[in-house]
Amino acid sequence: MRIEIVVQRYGADLGGAERHAALMAGLLARHHDVEVLTTTAGDYHTWSAAHPPGLSEIDGVRVRRFPVAQGRTRSWFTVSRALHEGFTPSDFARLPAEARDAFAARVRGWPESLQEDFIHGQGPIAPELLTTLERGEFDRVLFVTYLYPTTYDGLAVVDPERARVVPTLHDEPPAYLPVFGRRLARATLLCSTEAEIRLLSRLYPETTPRARLLGYGIDVPADPPPRSRHEEPFLLYAGRIDVHKGIGELLEWYEAVRRCEPSPPRLVLIGEPSMPLPDVPGLEVRGYVPEAEKVDLMRRALAFVHPSPFESLGIVLLEAMAVGTPLLVNARSDVMVEHCRRASAGLWVRDGAELTAAVRKLAESLDLRSSLGANGRAYVEREYGLATYEQHLLREFPA
């Protein structure tokens, strides 16, 4: 079977959607003829070129990159401000139900052309990629993430019976634009969690018959060493250091921890900052670190903190669970809370007082930390093990 995987950028060291695309490409290439269609972009704000166009090979997978004819436009910022009128993106998760209903009704009234201005204005526009898809020289096309024109426009030129989408759908303002639902209804949707399927059903009821669970695959490492009572405690976050990931809120909560606790843990952030960061005592920003160092930090952390309210899966969260680290997550994220509930692997908080109480509880009990960590490892191995995920993937793309 010939499979094209379409994603806006490509590389395992980028965001969650890109990492999922790389995982699927590598596994499917063991059984099928796989080619990744992507752009030359490295940065998702400007879509400026970081790679040459043309064909290359990465980890045994053919990757074909196309130039970006249009990145993010100035007019997009105007449309984006209109979409977020009355709140900031990071405040959206705090809106009460009636405010969300009012927001949904407002954007349903937008003309289709304005909705598409938002989609196309954010970029990337890659006409040569679409031309390749239009030729139809494939058995299946697997699009990764719903948000960008590479998926939205690609679905318009691909036979619906051949189209598959891993939507990575978040409960975020752009997802409420109805045109996304109409376009996604043209494909089979492969979701990462049951919570994502429920969100699809709520936002786009027309897609419900074509949505099913795919999951994700984590290579669970060997048993971590026993937790020490004597290590200096720290909280760890890994990922994009961005307001959309809840980092501003996390820093506010952390200041509450420092005010209330006589010996507060450090807060270590790893990942590339894309927001200004205040000079907060106890805050340590390490930027990008090698994979081995990231895993070591996860193993040693008092807890892995995931403050984002907008998640469809949470890959770094699963990685932290896989090495036996307890979780502290944003109570406004259905996906993150579902992981904690199902795994009995962590606590969920909604403000600085709750984070302080959770940190105190973990710091005072090695037994609790060990129990939550063991539960998380067992959950990831059972639900997200690499072998199980490969079986799910081959069910959708049989060899």
The rounded distance, in Å, linking the Cα atoms of 73 and 86 is 22
Tell me the pLDDT tens digit for each residue of 187-209.
999 999 998 999 999 999 999 99
The rounded distance, in Å, linking the Cα atoms of 226 and 214 is 33
Q: What angle do CA 164, 206, 84 make, to 5 degrees?
A: 90
DSSP 13: T
DSSP 41: B
pLDDT of residue 229: 54
Please, are residues 124 and 150 in contact by the beta-carbon 8 Å criterion?
yes
- Tokens for 259, please give them: 């005010």
Identify the structural domains of the chain with CATH numbers, from first to last: 2-71+111-214 (3.40.50.2000), 234-384 (3.40.50.2000)
Before 290, cis peptide (omega within 30)?
A: no
Instruction: Report helix, strand or coil for 343.
Output: helix
The rounded distance, in Å, linking the Cα atoms of 216 and 12 is 14
Instruction: Report helix, strand or coil for 143.
Output: strand
pLDDT of residue 228: 55
- Within 10 angstroms of residue 394's Cβ, the number of other Cβ atoms is 15
CA dihedral 176→182→188→189, nearest 10 degrees, is 0
The rounded distance, in Å, linking the Cα atoms of 313 and 311 is 6
DSSP 225: P
Closest to 287 (Cα-Cα) out of 7, 81, 13, 4: 13
pLDDT of residue 155: 98
The rounded distance, in Å, linking the Cα atoms of 130 and 153 is 8
Please, are residues 11 and 22 in contact by the beta-carbon 8 Å criterion?
yes
Dihedral sign for Cα 141, 206, 23, 396, please: negative
The rounded distance, in Å, linking the Cα atoms of 255 and 280 is 8
CA 309 to chain centre: 11
Taking phi first (over 0 means left), then psi (-120 to 50 degrees means alpha), and beta for anything else, what does residue 324 get? Answer: left
For residue 191, the cross-strand partners are 213
Tell me the pLDDT tens digit for each residue of 339-352.
999 999 999 999 99
Which residue has 């930027």 as its token pair? Answer: 287
* Most confidently modeled range among 124-138, 224-238, 299-313: 124-138
pLDDT of residue 56: 96
Taking phi first (over 0 means left), then psi (-120 to 50 degrees means alpha), and beta for anything else, what does residue 145 get? Answer: left
Tell me the pLDDT tens digit for each residue of 359-370.
999 999 999 999
Rounded average pLDDT over 169-187: 95
Q: Please state the pTM of the whole predicted model.
A: 0.86
Least confident of 10-19, 191-200, 278-287: 10-19
Instruction: Report helix, strand or coil for 80.
Output: helix
Rounded average pLDDT over 237-266: 92
Alpha carbons within 13 A on the beta-carbon side of 383: 21
Please, are residues 324 and 221 in contact by the beta-carbon 8 Å criterion?
no
The mean pLDDT value of the chain amounts to 93
- Tokens for 12, please give them: 């395992």
Helix axes 315-322, 16-28, angle to 10 degrees: 70
Dihedral sign for Cα 203, 207, 210, 214, please: negative
pLDDT of residue 91: 79
Rg (CA), the chain: 21
